[in-house]
Every structure is written in structure tokens, then in C-alpha cells.
Amino acid sequence: MRIDLLQGTLDMLILKALTGGPMHGYAVTSWLQRTTDDALQVEEGSLYPALHRMTKRGWVKSDWGVSENNRRARFYTLTAEGKRQLKEESTSWARLTEAVAKVLHSRPATQVA
């Protein structure tokens, strides 16, 4: 099943991925796929503009390092600001899903004559 992501949701997921420590982009994709059991089908490439945009905003910072199989790769680290951002976003996401769930679980309104 393919789920389209809401605007900004990808950012939140990436931030979450990085809470485990510095990662390169490929690792972030793999982590997302693993964690969601491949439910999220985003184009892998779309991750990179997102990562760089977040770098620009100061949520993550990047450094060149060496990957587990000895290749040069860019590693992203969560900054303090990024952590704050993640907290904010997850809070509002929780509120949103809660609200949506309430609506979906309510009984349909009936016309009272």
C-alpha cells in the first residue's frame, strides 16, 4: 500500500530517524523503510532536497565522513534546534491524528425532526 505524505511530514520522519545518531541519507531511507515495513513509498531522491533544506534551517548539520563500507558519505546530525522542531511537530501531529481519529470514530450526526 502506498501512502502519500502530508506536506512537512517527511521532514518530521527524517528528524526522528536522526535521533538515533548521525546518519547518511541512504541509512535514513533504509531506516524509514524498515520501520514502516515498506509502507511509505516515497521517491528516495526526494530525501536529499529535504535534508539540505533542513540543513539550511539549522535543524541538522552535515559533515563528510566514512561509511560502514569505507566510502565517503555525508552524515547528518540532529542539532538542538532540530530536536526542538521534532518535538513541536510530533506534538501537533499527535493532536491532529487524535482529532481526526475522534471524527472518524464518532457516530454520524442524525437529523432530529
Nearer to other proteins, 31 or 93 (CB): 31
Q: Which residues contact 83 (CB under 8 A, 6 or more apart)?
A: 15, 19
Q: Which one of 7, 34, 37, 43 is in contact with other proteins (CB under 8 A)? A: 43
Q: Residue 10 — φ and ψ, nearest 5°? A: -60, -45
Which is closer to other proteins, CB of 74 or CB of 83? 74
Please report, in angstroms and rounded to a whole number, the separation of the first and last CA atoms in the chain.
Answer: 43
74 binds other proteins (CB under 8 A): yes
- Of 16 and 74, nearer to other proteins (C-beta) is 74
CA 105, CA 100: separation in Å to the nearest integer?
9
CA–CA separation, 1 and 81 (whole Å): 34
**Where in 6-35 is the site for other proteins (CB under 8 A)?**
24-26, 29
Interface positions with other proteins (CB under 8 A): 24-26, 29, 43-46, 48-49, 52-53, 55-56, 67, 69, 71-74
